[in-house]
Structure 1
Amino acid sequence: MIAVEECVLILLAAGRSRRFGDADKLQEFFLGKPLAYHVVTALEDVPFKARFVVCSGTELDFASRGYAVLHNHNPDDGMSGSVKLGVAAAREIGCAAVVIALADMPRVTATHIHRLLEAATGPDAVVASSNGIHSSPPALFGVDQFEALMMLSGDEGGRAMVRAGRHVIAPEAELLDIDRPEDLERLRALR
């Protein structure tokens, strides 16, 4: 197990959202607040060593919610560019691991994050989420994986690492990723 106090949260919020259309999906309202603030609220009491959010064009004020904001000026580089920015910032302050979460996954819970931490066996750990069929974020990467994360390229992010890592099962609805308008409608129907 890796202690949460030695872990840095990296929230990715710099995607281009091409499949969603012209609107900033992170600002779309769900249950009275912007979509991205649901994961922020769910994890606000988790005592991470630090919290970073990687943004590109959103107007949401993550800084007021306790996040150090990292600006991804090249979001066309894909998810890997955002991951590298977050990992570089985490390395600067020193930590045992990072948890990488997506701002467009509004039903992630603190309980699930604690389960990822409990499943981490050491500095080389890779622990991802799964619905029992497919692996996905949130995912935890031990400090010995940082160099591999810094070598990523394109929009794959750490997908291959996540597939090969250990998986913690969560309900499919908890891991719902909002990529298209119909995903948001499906979310709203679940409530």
Structure 2
Amino acid sequence: MQSHDHEQIVGILLAAGKGLRFDPSGAQNKLLQTTIDGDTVVIAAATALLAVLPQVTAVVRNAEDAVASELTQLGCKVVVCPDAEQGMGASLVCALEQNQQATGWIIALGDMPRVQTSTIAALANELRNGAGIVAPFYQGERGNPVGFGKQHLPALLMLGGDQGARSLLKNHPVTKVAVDDRGIHYDIDTVADLQSRAD
């Protein structure tokens, strides 16, 4: 662990969902499927974060499964969220509790494998310059990941269930970052999504 954790912007990768739209039986984890670019979905998402940020915490459902194993090998700090069933807000709180000393967080989704590193770097730069909430926009539409500054930590820690951080985005000013990155809108929900390209 680096000595400047309290000055860092930390990446948070939410990878604890069940992905039942992808496979209602739950047998196939969409995060472990291979994209047409050759990486598994979750590894592609994590690699982009790790390329820009010195520390990435990934939230998983099970410490023993392949998602946790792959992310640990890649260099992520893996946190198991016992309340992951409650939804994204619960997973986010699990990660934030482990990283309360950071100056900001970039919250990314494990099923979004095509976000460009340049987008993550632009968001991090805005947080370093004092933005409270920062989000990427492609062709006028907001996408993911989203960044939060330290001032929003108390509100983020009060999130729960499937609410995620949407309520904060509605109720606070958002610094918009225009990006040439279709990947901010591209997630894996179905088998067909694996075969399509974001670019």
Contact kept, 8 Å, 1:127 with 1:162, in 2: the verdict is no
**Partner letter of residue 168 of structure 1?**
V
Are 1:70 and 2:79 matched, yes or no?
yes
Contact kept, 8 Å, 1:126 with 1:141, in 2: the verdict is yes
- Counterpart in the other structure of 1:33: 39
Can you list the C-alpha shifts for 1:57-84, whole angstroms capped at 9, x where unaligned?
4512211111111011222211000110
- Please, which of 139, 148, 153 is the counterpart of residue 155 of structure 2? 148
Are 1:102 and 2:109 matched, yes or no?
yes
CA distance in 2, matches of 1:27, 1:142: 31
Can you list the C-alpha shifts for 1:107-153, whole angstroms capped at 9, x where unaligned?
1122111111222342x610012234432321111011011111112
- Counterpart in the other structure of 1:46: 52
- Counterpart in the other structure of 1:55: 60
Are 1:157 and 2:159 matched, yes or no?
no
Which deviates more, 64-73 or 130-139? 130-139
Contact kept, 8 Å, 1:116 with 1:140, in 2: the verdict is yes
Q: Report runs of 4+ in structure 1 exceeding 4 Å deviation.
A: none
CA distance in 2, matches of 1:118, 1:47: 11
CA distance in 2, matches of 1:154, 1:170: 30
Q: 1:35 deviation in Å? A: 1.1
Q: Secondary structure at the match of 1:104?
A: coil
CA distance in 1, matches of 2:29, 2:114: 18
**Partner letter of residue 30 of structure 2?**
K
Contact kept, 8 Å, 2:116 with 2:181, in 1: the verdict is no
- Counterpart in the other structure of 1:179: 189
- Counterpart in the other structure of 2:3: none
In structure 2, stretches of 5+ residues that fail to align are 1-6
TM-score, structure 2 as length reference: 0.82
Are 1:166 and 2:172 matched, yes or no?
no
- Counterpart in the other structure of 2:132: 125
* Pairing of 1:74-85 with structure 2 (within 5 A): 74-85=83-94
Contact kept, 8 Å, 1:128 with 1:136, in 2: the verdict is yes
**Partner letter of residue 74 of structure 1?**
D
In structure 1, stretches of 5+ residues that fail to align are none
**Partner letter of residue 151 of structure 2?**
D
Contact kept, 8 Å, 1:105 with 1:178, in 2: the verdict is yes
% identical aligned pairs: 29
Which deviates more, 140-149 or 16-25? 16-25
Can you list the C-alpha shifts for 1:17-48, whole angstroms capped at 9, x where unaligned?
11111310000011222111112222333242
- Counterpart in the other structure of 1:14: 16
Which protein has the bigger strand share?
1
TM-score, structure 1 as length reference: 0.85
